C-alpha cells in the first residue's frame, strides 16, 4: 500500500487503540519461592487504523503476543485502556464480550495446535457459527462449504480432520474459521511462520484478498522483517515490553529512529549479507 | 491381524513369561512348605519325605512347572498345601472379596477426583486451588497404613463402624437388607482408606492434564470465538485431557487385584492380601504364583483397556494406526 494511502487512513479514527497498557506476571523463584513480577507490557500505546495492515515486530519475549492476547480479550491488562470502534473494552463483562468476540479474531502460528484435532473441518468452521447462533441446519452446512471455498479449500474436504490436511491447508481452515463470524479486526500471531515460502505467499495473497473483500484490519505479528517491509502499512516495534517506535512502514524501514529498531534491522541485513556471501561461495 | 488380536497374543505371551519367572523364583527360594515339619519331633523324617514326594516337591523344576501348567489347563491353578484344595477355589472367593472392595474404592476415587481435578485446574492459583493442592500434598505424604490406622482408631473410639472383617457374627441370620447394610458398614474403613490414598495422585494428574489442555492454542482459539462454560469443557477440554487419563484409568484397573493388599491385611478384609501374606509366610508356593498371575492378568487387561480407550477417544491415534 502506498504511503499517501496509508497516511490518509492514519488520519481516520483508530479502529483499535491501546492506551497505557501494562501487564505483568507474578512468578516464584525456583528455590526461595519468593514472588517476583515479570513486566510483559509497560505503558504500551498502539493505534491501528481501519482496513490497514499494522505489523508488530520485536525480538522474542518483547511482549508482542501478550499485547495481541490483551487486544483479543484473552487476557485482561493490569492497567490501561483498549478502545475498539469507539468503545473502551478492557473492563468488559461477559455480556459485552459476547458482542465483542466475533469482531476480534486471532489466527495462531501453530495451525495444528489451534484446531481441535477431534473435529472435522466442517465442525471447526461451524462451531463459532453455532455458538453465536448465526446459522443452523442445512444453511449452516452450506455456509461452511461457502467459507471453505472462499479460502481455497474444496468443499468436499468438509469431513476431513485437521491431521489429514497439510500445514498450508490447516492455516486456510483456521482463516475460514476466523472469518466465519465476519470480524472487523484480525490478529495474525506469526500465522505465516513455519510454512514453506510458496505456501507462505499463497496464504499472504489470500489474506490480502480477504482484506480487500471484507475491509479487514490486520495486526500482523512477525519476525520476518523482509515480509513486513513488503506488506505492512504501519510498523510497531516492541522491546522489553515497551513500544519503542510506531509509524508508517516506509518511515520505519527508511529511517529508524530508535536504537533498538536500527539494531533489529541491522541484524536482519547482517544475516542477509552472510546468506548472500554463503550463496556466492557455494556457486564458485 | 488387527490391533486387538495383536494385543491379546502379546498379553498371553506376557502371562506365560511371568508364569515361568514366578514359578522359577518361587520354587528356587530357600525352604518349602514342609520345612517347618522337620522341626516337629513328632513327625518323622520319613513322613516328611513321603509328603514331599506326594506333592511332587522333590521333582526337578521343569517337571514341576509342566505339572503346574497341566493343572492350570484343567482350571485348578495348582494345589494349596496349606488349605489342601485346588488354588482356583481359594482364589475365586478371595479375589471376589478384593474386587468388591477395590472396584467400589476405585469408582468412588474417580468420581471424586474427576470433578475436583477439573475444578482446581479451572481455578488455578486461587484460594480453592491452593486449598486442594495443600490437601492433596498432605494426603500424599501420609502413608496408606497411617490412614487405615487412624480410621480404625476412630471406629474403635466412636463405635460408629465395625473395626475389621467383612461381615458381623450372625450375618447369615440377617435379612437381605440388613445383610447389605452390614456389608456396607464393613466396607467403609477399607474403602475410605483406599480412596484417600489414591485420591491425591488422581486429582493431581487430572488437574495437570486439564491445565495443559486449557492452555492449548485450540482452547484459546475456542475462547476467542466466545465458546466457554460447559461447551468448552465437554467438547474441547475433557476429550483432549482424556488421553493421559485413559492410561491412568488403565493403571487403576491394573491395580484392582494388587493395590489393596496392605489395607486388607490391616483392616482384616478377607481378600487377596491376607491370603497372599499367609501363603508367602507358609511357602504355599502355588497360591503365591496363582495370586501373582491373577494380578498380572489384571495389569495386562488394564493396559489393554487403556490402549483401546485411547484408540476410541483420539482420532489421531486411529488415523496413525490405519
Q: Does B231 touch chain A (CB under 8 A)?
A: yes
B185 in Cβ contact with B161 (< 8 Å): yes
Residue B210 falls within a domain, yes or no?
Answer: yes
The C-alpha atoms of residue A12 and residue A274 are separated, in whole angstroms, by 42
Average pLDDT for residues B164-188, to the nearest whole number? 89
**pLDDT beyond 70 at B321:** no
Q: How confident is the model at residue A7 (pLDDT cuts 50, 70, 90)?
A: low
Average pLDDT for residues A225-240, to the nearest whole number? 90
Widest Cα–Cα separation across chain A = 66
Count the Cβ atoms, other than its own, within 10 Å of residue B306.
21
The 10s digit of each residue's pLDDT in A140-191 is 888 999 899 989 899 889 889 888 888 889 989 999 998 888 899 999 998 8
Tell me the average pLDDT of chain A: 85
Residue B298 falls within a domain, yes or no?
Answer: no
**Measured between CB atoms, which of A108, A118, A177 is closest to B217?**
A108
More confident position, B41 or A14: B41
The 10s digit of each residue's pLDDT in A90-118 is 888 878 888 888 889 888 888 888 898 88
Counting residues of chain B whose pLDDT is more than 70, the rounded percentage is 98
The secondary structure of B150-209, three-state, reads HHHHHHHHHCCCCCCCCCCCCHHHCCHHHHHHHHHHHHHHHHHHHHHHHHHHHHHHHHHH
Residue B246 falls within a domain, yes or no?
Answer: yes
Residue B258 falls within a domain, yes or no?
Answer: yes
Q: What is the pLDDT of residue A11?
A: 54
Q: What is the pLDDT of residue A238?
A: 92
The 10s digit of each residue's pLDDT in B237-263 is 998 898 888 889 988 888 888 888 999
Contact B316 A117 (CB under 8 A): yes
The C-alpha atoms of residue B35 and residue B57 are separated, in whole angstroms, by 11
Q: What is the pLDDT of residue B142?
A: 93
Total domain count, chain B: 1
The 10s digit of each residue's pLDDT in A56-77 is 998 888 899 999 999 988 888 9
Residue B47 falls within a domain, yes or no?
Answer: no
pTM for this one?
Answer: 0.77
Q: What is the pLDDT of residue A79?
A: 92
**pLDDT beyond 60 at B119:** yes
b/e A125-164 (16+ beta carbons within 10 angstroms → b): bbbbbbbbebbeeeebeebbbebbebbbbeeebbebbbee
Antiparallel, parallel or unpaired: β B79-80 and B85-86: antiparallel
Residues within 8 A of B (CB atoms), A 4-43 only: none
Whole domain around residue B242: which residue ranges? 100-282
More confident position, B37 or A249: A249
The 10s digit of each residue's pLDDT in A15-59 is 899 999 999 988 877 777 788 888 899 999 999 988 899 999 988
**CATH code for position B173:** 1.10.3720.10
Q: How confident is the model at residue B268 (pLDDT cuts 50, 70, 90)?
A: very high
Q: How confident is the model at residue A2 (pLDDT cuts 50, 70, 90)?
A: very low
Contact B218 A101 (CB under 8 A): no
**Measured between CB atoms, which of A104, A131, A164 is closest to B319?**
A164
Low-confidence winner among A119-133, B29-43, B94-108 (lowest mean pLDDT):
B29-43
Residue B256 falls within a domain, yes or no?
Answer: yes
Q: What is the pLDDT of residue A74?
A: 86
Residues within 8 A of A (CB atoms), B 171-230 only: 216-218, 220-227
Q: How confident is the model at residue A124 (pLDDT cuts 50, 70, 90)?
A: very high
**pLDDT beyond 80 at B61:** yes
| Residues from chain B contacting residue A131 (CB–CB below 8 Å) | 225-227, 231
Contact A74 B220 (CB under 8 A): yes
Strand partners, A81: A19
Q: How confident is the model at residue B318 (pLDDT cuts 50, 70, 90)?
A: low
- ipTM for the predicted complex comes to 0.72
| Domains (range + CATH), chain A | 3-112+183-283 (3.40.50.300)
Q: What is the pLDDT of residue B320?
A: 57
Q: What is the pLDDT of residue A282?
A: 62
**DSSP character at residue A164:** G
Residue B127 falls within a domain, yes or no?
Answer: yes
The 10s digit of each residue's pLDDT in B293-307 is 998 998 898 888 888
Main-chain dihedrals φ then ψ at residue B285, nearest 5 degrees: -60, -35
SS3 content of chain B, % helix, strand, coil (to 5): 75, 0, 20
Residue B33 falls within a domain, yes or no?
Answer: no
- CA-based nearest residue to B224, from A232, A181, A158: A181
Tell me the average pLDDT of chain B: 88
**pLDDT beyond 70 at A9:** no
Average pLDDT for residues B173-202, to the nearest whole number? 92
A258 in Cβ contact with A101 (< 8 Å): no
If you write DSSP's letter for every residue of A96-135 in order, what string do you get?
HHHHHGGGEEEE-S-HHHHS-TTS-HHHHHHHHHHHTTS-
Amino acid at each position: 500500500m502506498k504511503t499517501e494511502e496509508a497516511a490518509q487512513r492514519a488520519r481516520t479514527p483508530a479502529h483499535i487503540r491501546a492506551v497505557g497498557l501494562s501487564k505483568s506476571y507474578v512468578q516464584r523463584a525456583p528455590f526461595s519461592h519468593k514472588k517476583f513480577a515479570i513486566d510483559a507490557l509497560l505503558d504500551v500505546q498502539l493505534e491501528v487504523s481501519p482496513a490497514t495492515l499494522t505489523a508488530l515486530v520485536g525480538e522474542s519475549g518483547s511482549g508482542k503476543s501478550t499485547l495481541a492476547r490483551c487486544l483479543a480479550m484473552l487476557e485482561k491488562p493490569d492497567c490501561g485502556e483498549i478502545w475498539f470502534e469507539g468503545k473502551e473494552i478492557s473492563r468488559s463483562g461477559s455480556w459485552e464480550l459476547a458482542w465483542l468476540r466475533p469482531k476480534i479474531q486471532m489466527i495462531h502460528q501453530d495451525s495444528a495446535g489451534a484446531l481441535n484435532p477431534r473435529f472435522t473441518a466442517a465442525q471447526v468452521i461451524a462451531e463459532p457459527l453455532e455458538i453465536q447462533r448465526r446459522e443452523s441446519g442445512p444453511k449452516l452446512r452450506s455456509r461452511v462449504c461457502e467459507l471453505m471455498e472462499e479460502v481455497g479449500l474444496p468443499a468436499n474436504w468438509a469431513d476431513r480432520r485437521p491431521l489429514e490436511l497439510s500445514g498450508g491447508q490447516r492455516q486456510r481452515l483456521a482463516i475460514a474459521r476466523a472469518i466465519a463470524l465476519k470480524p472487523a479486526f484480525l490478529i495474525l500471531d506469526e500465522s505465516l511462520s513455519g510454512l514453506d515460502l510458496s505456501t507462505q505467499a499463497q496464504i499472504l495473497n489470500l489474506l490480502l484478498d480477504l482484506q480487500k473483500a471484507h475491509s479487514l484490519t490486520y495486526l500482523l505479528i512477525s519476525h520476518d522483517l523482509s515480509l513486513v517491509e513488503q506488506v505492512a502499512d504501519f510498523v510497531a516495534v516492541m522491546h522489553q515490553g515497551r513500544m519503542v517506535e510506531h509509524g508508517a512502514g516506509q518511515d520505519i524501514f527508511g529511517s529508524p529512529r530508535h536504537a533498538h529498531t536500527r539494531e533489529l534491522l541491522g541484524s536482519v541485513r547482517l544475516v542477509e549479507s552472510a546468506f548472500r556471501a554463503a550463496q556466492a561461495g557455494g556457486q564458485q | 491381524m488387527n490391533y486387538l488380536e495383536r494385543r491379546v497374543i502379546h498379553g498371553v505371551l506376557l502371562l506365560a513369561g511371568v508364569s515361568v519367572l514366578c514359578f522359577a523364583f518361587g520354587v528356587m527360594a530357600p525352604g518349602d512348605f514342609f520345612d517347618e515339619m522337620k522341626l516337629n519331633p513328632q513327625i518323622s523324617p520319613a513322613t516328611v519325605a513321603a509328603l514331599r514326594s506326594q506333592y511332587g516337591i522333590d521333582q526337578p523344576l521343569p517337571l514341576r512347572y509342566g505339572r503346574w501348567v497341566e493343572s492350570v489347563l484343567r482350571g485348578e491353578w495348582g494345589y494349596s498345601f496349606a488349605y489342601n484344595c485346588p488354588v482356583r477355589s481359594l482364589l475365586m472367593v478371595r479375589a471376589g472379596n478384593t474386587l468388591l472392595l477395590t472396584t467400589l474404592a476405585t469408582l468412588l476415587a474417580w468420581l471424586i477426583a474427576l470433578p475436583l481435578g477439573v475444578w482446581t485446574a479451572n481455578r488455578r492459583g486461587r484460594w480453592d486451588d491452593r486449598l486442594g493442592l495443600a490437601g492433596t500434598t498432605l494426603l500424599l505424604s501420609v502413608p496408606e497404613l497411617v490412614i487405615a490406622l487412624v480410621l480404625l482408631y476412630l471406629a474403635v473410639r466412636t463405635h460408629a463402624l465395625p473395626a475389621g472383617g467383612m461381615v458381623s457374627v450372625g450375618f447369615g441370620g440377617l435379612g437381605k437388607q440388613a445383610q447389605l447394610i452390614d456389608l456396607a458398614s464393613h466396607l467403609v474403613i477399607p474403602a475410605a482408606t483406599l480412596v484417600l490414598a489414591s485420591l491425591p495422585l488422581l486429582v493431581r494428574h487430572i488437574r495437570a492434564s486439564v491445565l495443559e489442555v486449557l492452555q492449548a492454542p485450540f482452547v484459546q482459539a475456542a475462547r476467542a470465538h466466545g465458546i466457554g462454560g460447559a461447551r468448552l469443557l465437554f467438547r474441547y477440554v475433557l476429550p483432549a485431557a482424556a488421553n493421559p487419563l485413559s492410561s491412568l484409568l488403565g493403571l487403576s484397573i491394573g491395580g484392582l487385584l494388587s493395590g489393596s493388599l496392605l489395607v486388607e491385611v490391616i483392616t482384616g478384609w478377607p481378600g487377596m492380601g491376607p491370603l497372599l501374606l499367609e501363603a508367602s509366610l507358609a511357602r504355599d508356593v502355588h497360591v503365591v504364583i496363582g495370586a501373582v498371575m491373577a494380578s498380572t492378568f489384571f495389569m495386562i487387561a488394564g493396559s489393554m483397556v487403556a490402549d483401546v480407550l485411547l484408540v476410541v477417544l483420539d482420532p489421531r491415534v486411529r488415523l496413525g494406526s490405519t
